[in-house]
Chains A and B, each alone.
Chain A
Amino acid sequence: MSRHLAAAHDLVVPRAVVRHGTTTLVDVADLRIDAGHALTIVGESGSGKSVLAHALMGTLPPELVAEGTLEVGSLRFDLADRGGRRHLWGRRMALLPQEPALALDPTMRVRHQVAEGAAVWKPRAASALRLADERLDHLGLAGARSAYPHTLSGGMAQRVAYAAATIGGAQLLIVDEPSKGLDGDAVDRLAGLLAAHVEAGGLLLTITHDLRLARRLGGQVLVMRDAVVLERGPADQVLSTPVHPYTARLLAAEPSRWRFPWMTTPEPSGEEAPLVAAHSISKAYGDAPLFDDLSMEIRAGERWAITGPSGAGKTTLGNALLRLTSVDRGTVAHGPTAHGGRLQKLYQDPALSFPARVPLGVGLRDVMRRHDVDEARLGSLLATVGLPRDVLRRRPDQVSGGELQRIAIVRAMLPRPALVFADEATSRLDLVTQQMTVDTLMSEVVASGCALLLVTHDRGLAASLTSRAVSLNGGGEAEIVTTAAQPAMPGSSR
């Protein structure tokens, strides 16, 4: 790839502070990115890492106030001056935004959107469009030149946004949470592009909570929490032998490093009638088959995962097994122990799974009345998930996502279910919160002997929780994989 990056200068930020009212969101010092090196900031949501990125770029929302300076070579910029860096945008510094699908104008074909970023762009001039086509072809998007954004997959939209952000030849590339909503293959592909930018002598600042991506990019790593930097150093050192206890906790929260008692509890091997029996079911979305002629049985206590790339139909298969979605062909039968509210589901966004304007406790009381559950069981469940009783007086929008998902677990467990279907139930949670939530769920699952059906795009999570998997390839083929009698032990999947 021929790249004409502006003469390499290092970027130095002696100090950067961002405030919202009286709250300090970011307070970091001595930030430095060397040409040809990557700097990655890791941390959980709310740590201030994205705010820092936007403060450097000059794209903070008006209610946030920044202080500090940014130095590129001999040039100095005041972070408080929003307009001062605008002439650098696209040419010297570029931003690859979060959620590329939203960063593309829905009403414009992608080649025009990419061309806009080129330094030679003029309305109705062909040269920028030619350049845009070149870049899109290079990224394997030749077929998508004239597509509208809504027809692109998440990974394709990400690459289009990458082309648009880098076509102007900016040396500094700031990347904000690039792996959000992408499956493993798409993240790998993006990591390759980012690494190429660094190799070409560029400066790369990546904001992410994805430790795998941080390892792949190498260079320097900063760990942020509550507006400040807790630890910094070379990526391979910080991400394997951390010094700060918080970093250690963060690393231990990766599914591949989990060690929980329930991971070694064997599944019951009763030969009872199946809870759910699917017989040669097929379903297509438009012309694209999701699964075809698939047969499977889930028995009491078994732990199943449905894995595959995004858009492969994982959730649809799970819903079909619970008979929430119809199938095109085939039958799904439920055993006698699965009737009367004994199949439960946990949702990706727990906020949508509760009535929005009703206090949580009111909804739970309806469940308890319907299923004759006594107060003591609710109390013990709340204690297990580690939530105070007061939380039930709040509405769904007044508790955090992690807390709400734990209340959803309580709700699902109240009618003593035979099977719980967890549909990407922890994919929106931070690593540490995910670890805590999964532990809660699995402890309950193992204690009550109910079966688990897990839909996830995270292979590490699937391997840690389950021993049987349906793997969808996105092209209508499904493969049933059964590992040993027990879930994979930690360490083996790294």
Chain B
Amino acid sequence: MLARRAGQAVGVALLVSVLCFLVVLRLPGDAAYRIAAGRYGYDLVDQEAADAVRAELGLDRPAWQQLGGWLLDLVQLDFGRSLVTSHPVLEEVGYYLVGTLQLAGAALVLAIVLGGTAGTLAARRPGGLVDRLTTIGVAGVRAVPPFLLGLLLVLLLSAELGLLPAVGHGNAASIVLPALTLGTGLSGLIAQVMRDAVLEVRQSDYVLFAHTKGLAERWVVLRHVVRNAAVVLVPYLGVQAVVLVEGVVVVESLFSWQGLGHALVHAVFWRDVPVLQATALVLALLIVSINTVVDLAVLWLDPRPRRLEAAA
């Protein structure tokens, strides 16, 4: 299983590298010119500066040489320097990764608490008021893209009520809005899965048997319902890793949160290819890592032979 994940990681690295490479190959206009502009400003750039950049970066070599060189650097974990800031990419990516992990972690915890609670409460009385409200909430959250949700939250909490800072990175309050945006989006899906899982487990033969054995309600919930519902929910979190990372990209851009997604969008905009490649790669590998953790968690939770199809 771990070998499979490792294979997946290699596949992902290749895919992202090739895609990034194609990007450079097909860059519209003169990439060097634009990079030079990014470095010195549009007013100061001229053809000479662009040529200097071109030679410096090896953009005048044939395409296959550039790809080969790239993959070679990748193996050596040498991502080069940012074309815009000239800092080593590895350092920059490390800095952004911390920001992304903070945001993703906070959002995930928020989503599990919000979604898990709503789903469990909804499953207590299927068709009841809480259940209906949860269903509507899930559909609502699903239909609103993260950026729109973020805008609404900014309007409400920041612009109208003035409770929280809208943009920025640094103080503790600035993480609230982005985490709330990302967490709310994820919580809808988690609530749905949690509701169905808890409902199914509560109606299962083994929960009924646990009751007729004479076990008290709270022990039935703690010993049987929670664990078996988690067996359903945890692999689902692995599937959601993709959604989480997508959300990270959008939400970070929206709130100017110093993370990988923000860096990625900037890199695309400024054609900063080394940063583009590194951030895309780290984001994709983040998904593989989350899935590896999920695999291990499921293995620990559920002793049954693993169904391969459930893997993400």
Contact = CB atoms under 8 A, between A and B. Distances in A.
B301 A107 contact: yes
A103 B205 CA distance: 5
Nearest to A150: B304
Q: State the majority secondary structure of interface residues on B.
A: helix
A106 interface: yes
A194 B220 CA distance: 27
A90 B216 CA distance: 11
A137 interface: no
A106 B228 contact: yes
Contacts of A117: 213-215
A52 to B, nearest CB: 16
Nearest to B228: A107
Contacts, number: 79
B40 interface: no
Contacts of A113: 210
Contact of B212 (A94, A121, A148): A94
A116 B205 contact: no
A319 B154 CA distance: 65
B231 A107 contact: yes
Contacts of A168: 213-214
Interface string B297-309: 0000111110000
Nearest to A122: B219
Contacts of B204: 102
Contacts of A86: 211
Contacts of A89: 211-214
Contact of A116 (B208, B219, B227): B219
B206 interface: yes
Nearest to B207: A105
Interface string A87-114: 0011100110111001111111000010
B229 to A, nearest CB: 11
Interface in A463-490: none
Contacts of A38: none
A95 B208 CA distance: 10
B304 A106 contact: yes
A292 B189 CA distance: 52
Given A105-B228, A106-B228, A106-B303, A116 B223 contact: yes
Nearest to B217: A86
Contacts of A97: 205, 208-209, 212
A380 interface: no
Contacts of B303: 106-107, 148, 150
Contact of A57 (B212, B213, B231): B212
B213 A116 contact: yes
A105 B213 contact: no
Interface of A: 57, 59, 86, 89-91, 94-95, 97-99, 102-108, 113, 116-117, 119, 121, 123, 148, 150, 161, 164-165, 168
Given A94-B214, A97-B208, A161-B209, 12 more contacts: A95-B209, A97-B205, A102-B205, A103-B208, A105-B224, A105-B227, A106-B206, A107-B302, A108-B224, A116-B219, A116-B223, A150-B305
12 contacts: A90-B213, A94-B212, A94-B214, A104-B206, A104-B209, A105-B223, A106-B302, A117-B215, A123-B219, A148-B303, A150-B303, A165-B209
